[in-house]
Amino acid sequence: MKTLFDKIWDAHVVEQLPGGTHVLYIDRHYIHEVTSPQAFDGIQRRGVPVFRPRQTIAIPDHNIPTLDQHLPVADPLSRAQLDALARNCDRYGITLYPVGSPRNGIVHVVGPESGLTLPGMTVVCGDSHTSTHGALGCVAFGIGTSEVEMTLASQCILQPKPLVMNVRVEGTLPPGTCSKDLILHAIARLGTSAGAGHFIQFDGPAIRALSIEARMTVCNMSIEMGARGGMIAPDDVTIEYLKARPTPPSPADIERWRELRDDPDARFHAAFTLHAGEVLPMITYGTHPGTAIPVDGRVPDDADRQMLAYTGFEPGERVAGKKIDHVFLGSCTNGRIEDLRAFTAIVKGKKKHPRVTAWIVPGSKQVERQAVDEGLRDTLADAGFQLRQPGCSACLAMNDDKIPAGHYCVSTSNRNFEGRQGPGARTLLAGPLVAAAAAVTGEIRDPRELT
C-alpha cells in the first residue's frame, strides 16, 4: 500500500532518528556556483574529503552572462564564484561543465537531457527547482547550502519524510494551451501553500499525454505550490525519452523502471482532481504565482491592493490589451527545445513589436545547438529576435539580464515575486505561447487569436 514516492524514499533511508528525521541517501547531486562555495568551505575547514565525488556534477548557470560567453566574465563577484566552483571541482575530483562548454546550461535542463537523472533516484541540488527532475520518476528536491555540505561530506542529508499528495488531471488540454498553463491553473486553484509538507505525485490522462519536457514544466513549479517536489511515475513516454539519451538504458534498467509505480491500494495524505479541459492560456497579475488568471480574464475585485500597487493593475481590469515592455523566454521552467519551437511557431512570419525587448535564452548548449540545427534561430532572426546563450538569465536576474523598474515583462519563468527580475520589475508569468503573442503584439494577447 505504498505510493511510488514512499517506495523510492524508503529504499534510500540509511537510518531513522527519533522524532521522524531520516538520514536519506542521495544518488545524484548537482551543484552550481551560487549555493556551493560555503559548503566547500565547510568541508575544507573540517578537513574531510568529498565522500563520493562521482555522484556530484557541477554546472555553473545562475550568474553567467547570456552573450559573449567566450569572453572572461566581466563582473568580478560573479567571476569569483565561477572560479571558486572550478577550483573546488578540481581539488575534490568533481566533474564540471564549464561556461561555454558543450554540456553547459541550466542544471535542471542539462541533468535530464544528459541522462544523468534517472527514474528511482534521489536527486538534490542547492536550488528549489530541482523538483523539475521529478518528471522522470525520481524523488528530486531543492536543499540549502548546509545540506549541500552534508551531501558532499557523506552523500546523505537529514530530512523529515514529506507526506504525499496526489494531483490527478483528467481530460485533455485544449488546443492553444500548454503544460505551463496547466500548472499555473493548478496553482491558482489550489494555492501557493497547498503542497506544504508534501511531495506531489501528478497523474491522470492529461499528465500521461504530456511529453517529458512538458512534464518537467509541471514538476518544476510544484515548489510554487509549496510542495517539496513533484514527480510523475515512469511510463512508455519516459522510457522512450531515456532511450534517446547519450547512454541508453539496458533492458534490465527498463524492466526495473517499469516496476516504479504505486501499489494498487496506495494511500495518499491528500488528493485533488483537476480538469484539463478547463485550462485556458494563463498569465499572472500579482506578485506570487497563485495570481494566474486566463488572458481573457479580469483582475479579481478583491485582489490585494498592495500587490496591485506594485504591479500596476486595477481591480476588475481586463488583462488583455495591457501594454508590455519585455519578453523573456527561457529558464528551467520553459527553456527547452519544445518551448523554443512553440514560441517560434507563433512569431514565424511576424515581427517583434518595436516596443518590446525580447530575451530568448536556451536552457542549455544542447538546446541552443538544436535550435540552430532546426532553423529556429534563423526563423527567430527573421522576426527580429536574437537567440542568446544559455543560463538562468532574467529568471532571477543575477547577471546583467535585469528588467528595469516599472517595466512589464511577460516571462516564461517561475516566480513573479517583487524584485525577482530586478528592483521594481513587474513580472507577468506565462507560457511560451502567451509570451510569443506578447512579443509580436506588444501587449497581453490570447495566442489563439494569432494562429
Partner 1 sequence: MILMTEPFTTLTATVFPLPVENIDTDRVIPARFLKTTTRDGLGKYLFTDWLPAGLPPDRGAVLAAGANFGCGSSREHAAWAIRDAGFRAVISSRFADIFRVNALNNGLLPVQVSPRFLARLFDLLDQRPDAPVTIDLAARVVRFEGEEELFDIPAYKQQCLLKGLDDIDYLLSIRQQIEHH
The residues that touch partner 1, with contacts defined as CB under 8 A, are 12, 14-15, 17-21, 23, 25, 34-35, 37-38, 41-42, 46, 48, 51, 62-63, 75, 77-78, 80-81, 84, 126-128, 142-147, 149-150, 153-156, 158-160, 162, 192-193, 196-197, 223, 226, 228, 288, 396-398, 415, 417-420, 423
Among candidates 415, 445, 441, which has minimal Cα distance to 428?
A: 415
> Please, what is the minimum distance in Å from the beta carbon of residue 34 to partner 1?
5
> Please, what is the minimum distance in Å from the beta carbon of residue 223 to partner 1?
8
In the complex with partner 1, the residue whose CB is nearer, 221 or 337, is: 221
Q: Are 5 and 201 in contact (CB under 8 A)?
A: yes
* Total Cβ atoms within 10 A of residue 261: 16
Q: Are 403 and 397 in contact (CB under 8 A)?
A: yes
In the complex with partner 1, the residue whose CB is nearer, 35 or 238, is: 35
> Please, what is the minimum distance in Å from the beta carbon of residue 19 to partner 1?
3
In the complex with partner 1, the residue whose CB is nearer, 63 or 344, is: 63
Cell digits of residue 428: 507577468
**Cα separation of 357 and 439, whole Å?**
8
Q: Are 231 and 134 in contact (CB under 8 A)?
A: yes
In the complex with partner 1, the residue whose CB is nearer, 15 or 255, is: 15
Beta-strand relationship, 163-170 and 270-275: parallel
Among candidates 139, 200, 188, which has minimal Cα distance to 10?
A: 139
Residues 6+ apart with CB under 8 A from 251: none
Q: What is the CA radius of gyration of the chain?
A: 21
Cα-to-chain-centroid distance, residue 270:
24
In the complex with partner 1, the residue whose CB is nearer, 143 or 216, is: 143
In the complex with partner 1, the residue whose CB is nearer, 114 or 155, is: 155
> Please, what is the minimum distance in Å from the beta carbon of residue 304 to partner 1?
9
C-alpha pair distances (Å), 421 with each of 62, 150, 275, 283, 403: 13, 31, 32, 16, 6
H or E element that contains 408: strand 408-411
Among candidates 433, 427, 442, which has minimal Cα distance to 354?
A: 442
> Please, what is the minimum distance in Å from the beta carbon of residue 130 to partner 1?
8
In the complex with partner 1, the residue whose CB is nearer, 153 or 266, is: 153
Residue 346 burial by Cβ neighbours in a 10 Å radius (0-12, 13-18, 19+)? buried
In the complex with partner 1, the residue whose CB is nearer, 57 or 396, is: 396
In the complex with partner 1, the residue whose CB is nearer, 64 or 358, is: 64
C-alpha pair distances (Å), 441 with each of 160, 312, 323, 400, 412: 48, 20, 9, 25, 17
> Please, what is the minimum distance in Å from the beta carbon of residue 296 to partner 1?
26
In the complex with partner 1, the residue whose CB is nearer, 118 or 398, is: 398
> Please, what is the minimum distance in Å from the beta carbon of residue 187 to partner 1?
12
Length of the chain: 451
CA atoms within 13 A on the CB side of 167: 28
Bridge partners for 270 per DSSP: 165
CA atoms within 13 A on the CB side of 348: 13
Bridge partners for 28 per DSSP: 123
* Total Cβ atoms within 10 A of residue 7: 18
> Please, what is the minimum distance in Å from the beta carbon of residue 435 to partner 1?
21
> Please, what is the minimum distance in Å from the beta carbon of residue 61 to partner 1?
13
> Please, what is the minimum distance in Å from the beta carbon of residue 259 to partner 1?
19
> Please, what is the minimum distance in Å from the beta carbon of residue 14 to partner 1?
6
In the complex with partner 1, the residue whose CB is nearer, 12 or 388, is: 12
Q: Are 426 and 312 in contact (CB under 8 A)?
A: yes
In the complex with partner 1, the residue whose CB is nearer, 300 or 442, is: 300
Among candidates 318, 230, 295, which has minimal Cα distance to 429?
A: 295
> Please, what is the minimum distance in Å from the beta carbon of residue 310 to partner 1?
10
**Cα separation of 440 and 112, whole Å?**
32
